[in-house]
Amino acid sequence: MLKVRVIQSPLPPVLQPFADEITRRFNSETPGLVSAFYLVGSIALGAFDPRRSDIDFVAVLCRPPSQADFEALDRVHKALNEQFPMWIQEGNYFQPADLGRMKDLGPCLSINEHGLQPPALRDECPVTWLILKHHGIAVFGPAPETLPFEVDEVEMLRWMQGNLNSYWANWLRQPARLAVFWSDWGIQWTALGVLRQFYTFRESNIVSKTAAGEYGLTRLPPRWHRIIREALRIRKGERGSLYRFRIQRTVEGIRFLKYMIEVGNEAANR
């Protein structure tokens, strides 16, 4: 069972100007539309890197957005992109009734590197709700631990194991994805992504990708330590690969993912 405690990291001081500005713009350009704005992702888990991290958020709307609301939110985010170009904004705008739900959510707005996206039907990852409920940082709105939903622990772990055996396993089945292991991004994304799930299966909690990599160094055989350290090096933006040849690192990354799917399933089925 998940043993998640409510642990809210303080807002990183470097993000205070962003928090102040988005609050000001909501008040001036979209009054009465956004009732709450929460920071999640690496920020909420105490692992925000101002040089590389995105600004992940969950926002709550007071009403279904009209076209005028969409245009106003689009202006807000474009202005913030101009003012804070170093950070990509990644988040969703939910109706109150959709908080905590994983299936059949109503249409919601989302924003990513391509800008604000029109309302669309979607499902939601339970990790989002877990981080929001237990670690979220309220820029404004009710304290996240008081939000009227709970994360179903059994469903959460079932979803995570399903993700391990679908999303991650598909990396090994699709030639186009295998090619991604050649890149720095592919190595850190896969290695630290599956280590994060392994941590949850073993420790019944959730941590950042960096913390999951450090955990793997203490729990997995030395045979895999170099690829984990390589993933952490990339994640932290450090120079100097631990591999002389990229093809060697690529093969090792693929083998590591295969291994982690196996031991991840073993940990999930304990």
Question: pLDDT tens digits for 53-87?
Answer: 889 999 999 988 889 998 999 999 999 999 999 99
**Whole-prediction pTM value?**
0.84
Grade residue 3 by pLDDT with cuts at 50, 70 and 90. very low
In this prediction, residue 121 carries a pLDDT of 63
Domain ranges of the chain: 13-146, 153-268
Average pLDDT of the segment spanning 33-60: 90
**What's the average model confidence in pLDDT over 17-35?**
92
| Burial class (CB within 10 angstroms; exposed 0-12, middle 13-18, buried 19+) of 244 | exposed
Collect contacts of 16-19 with beta carbons under 8 A, ≥24 apart. Answer: 17/84, 18/55, 18/80, 18/84, 18/87, 19/139
pLDDT interval class at 5 (50, 70, 90):
very low
Task: List Cβ neighbours of 33 (8 Å cut-off, separation of 6 or more).
Answer: 26, 61, 62, 63, 65, 69, 72, 73
The per-residue pLDDT for 249 is 93
If pLDDT is split at 50, 70 and 90, which confidence band does 142 have? very high
Question: What burial letters (b/e) apply to 49-72, b meaning 16+ CB within 10 Å?
Answer: eeeebbbbbbbbbeeebeeebbeb
What residue type is assigned to position 253 of the chain?
G
pLDDT at 8 (0 to 100): 60
| Helix extents (H) in the chain | 16-29, 41-44, 67-83, 126-135, 153-163, 169-173, 175-178, 184-203, 209-219, 225-236, 246-268
Give the tokens for residue 167.
């999303």
Residue 68 pLDDT:
92
pLDDT in tens, 161-173: 988 999 889 888 8
Q: Sorting pLDDT into bands at 50, 70 and 90, what band is 113?
A: confident
Topology given in CATH for the domain delimited by 13-146: Beta Polymerase; domain 2 (3.30.460)
Q: What is the pLDDT of residue 46?
A: 86
Residues 6+ apart with CB under 8 A from 191: 213, 227, 228, 230, 231, 253, 256, 257, 260
Share the mean pLDDT of the chain: 88
